[in-house]
């Protein structure tokens, strides 16, 4: 993951916050980030939770469903937060993801992607590491009749590649999407030859269960100027094209910024039109951007960002509009 955290649990509360947009951060890209005056969920707003890791998100009928992993003194728990409009009222609940039954080491079942099937059902893909000694990361899949669960039929659907593969040491952040009647999964991977350099790959599947592994990465650090590792890819279909966002490790910043840009075809990734859209310095009193997701709001695309406090002891949640 993009860092380490602790854990917590909470459900059934309503958090009311006030947020007004302020100035636009200078960003040399097609879209710019508009930083609100206040976070969507300030740190300390959720009982027993210090950190809120942004795991998976989707917009359904103008309502944003965001799956967070809450970390605190008593452990960790997956929390679903839903809101519509400007996010002035947030509902939170326990979606039952922690009870899917796969034997995974802490922090357990980490949701990473939500998608709707042609028949109207919903699928969640996530990350985990089995508890067996020497285990490597896996991706799991679960199904539901709606975006809020209950989730069922959890199964492991993807593992690391072979010893010499570009993703033979590590995989993370599966993001599923469909185009031209085919299912695809964008994900991060690293090889045994260089575990510090993550690449992006795209697997294909006719049914979302059996996935064909790509022999080579779709986007590598060498393809992106000054980037030494590509982490946490996120993809969103919009009216103007596909948005790609990822954490760009350059070795020059203590905390990686987020690069973002449009892609003509999500199966043919390029860094050509990607620019830095958000850095920790853009956020008030931020100790770093720990996790992020792309979501569609009523006014357009936005970044959902977990920002650490200066001492990294807690985090807050920001909803940041992206505008032309």
pLDDT of 88: 66
Contact between 13 and 92 under an 8 Å Cβ cutoff? The reply is yes
Instruction: Kindly list the strands in the beta sheet with 170-179, ordered across the sheet, starting from the edge strand earlier in the chain.
Output: 170-179, 182-190, 199-205
pLDDT of 2: 40
pLDDT of 23: 36
- Tens of pLDDT along the chain (324 residues) come to 443 332 222 333 333 333 333 333 333 347 899 999 999 999 999 999 999 999 999 998 889 999 999 999 999 999 999 998 666 688 999 999 999 999 999 999 999 999 988 889 999 999 999 999 999 999 999 999 999 999 999 999 999 999 999 999 999 999 999 988 889 999 999 999 999 999 999 999 998 899 999 999 999 999 998 999 999 999 999 888 899 999 999 876 667 899 999 999 999 999 998 999 999 999 999 999 999 999 999 889 999 999 999 999 999 999 999 998
Contact between 223 and 237 under an 8 Å Cβ cutoff? The reply is no
**Running DSSP on this structure, what letter comes out for residue 161?**
-
Can you name the residues that pair with 233 across neighbouring β-strands?
none
**Running DSSP on this structure, what letter comes out for residue 266?**
T
First to last CA, the chain: 31
> What topology does CATH give the domain 14-323?
Tachylectin-2; Chain A (2.115.10)
CA dihedral 101, 105, 107, 108 (to 10 degrees): -20
What are the domain boundaries of the chain? 14-323
From 107, 116, 41, 35, select the one nearest 77 (Cα to Cα): 107
């Amino acid at each position: 993951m993009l860092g380490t955290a602790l854990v917590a649990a909470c459900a059934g509360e309503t958090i009311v916050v006030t947020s007004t947009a302020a100035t636009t951060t200078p960003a040399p890209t097609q879209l710019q980030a508009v930083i609100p005056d206040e976070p969507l969920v300030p740190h300390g707003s959720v009982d027993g939770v210090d950190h809120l890791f942004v795991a998976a998100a989707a917009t359904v009928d103008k309502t944003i469903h965001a799956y967070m992993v809450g970390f605190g003194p008593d452990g960790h728990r997956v929390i679903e937060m839903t809101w519509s409009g400007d996010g002035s009222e947030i509902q939170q609940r326990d979606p039952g993801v922690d009870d899917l039954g796969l034997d995974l080491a802490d922090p357990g079942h980490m949701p990473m992607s939500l998608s709707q099937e042609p028949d109207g059902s919903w699928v969640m893909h996530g990350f985990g590491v089995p508890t067996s000694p020497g285990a490597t990361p896996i991706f799991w899949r679960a199904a539901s009749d709606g975006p809020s669960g209950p989730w069922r039929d959890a199964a492991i659907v993807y593992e690391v590649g072979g010893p010499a593969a570009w993703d033979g040491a590590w995989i993370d952040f599966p993001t599923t999407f469909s185009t031209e009647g085919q299912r695809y999964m964008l994900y991060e991977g690293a090889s045994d030859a260089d575990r510090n350099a993550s690449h992006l790959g795209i697997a294909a599947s006719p049914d979302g269960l059996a996935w064909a592994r790509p022999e080579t990465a779709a986007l590598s650090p060498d393809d992106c100027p000054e980037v030494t590792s590509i982490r946490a890819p996120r993809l969103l279909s919009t009216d103007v094209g596909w948005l790609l966002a990822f954490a760009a490790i350059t070795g020059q910043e203590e905390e990686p910024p987020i690069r973002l840009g449009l892609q003509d075809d999500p199966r043919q990734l390029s860094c050509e039109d990607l620019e830095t859209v958000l850095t920790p310095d853009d956020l008030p009193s931020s100790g770093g951007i720990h996790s992020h997701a792309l979501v569609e709001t009523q006014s357009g695309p936005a970044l959902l960002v977990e920002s650490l406090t200066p001492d990294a002891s807690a985090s807050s949640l920001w909803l940041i509009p992206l505008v032309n």
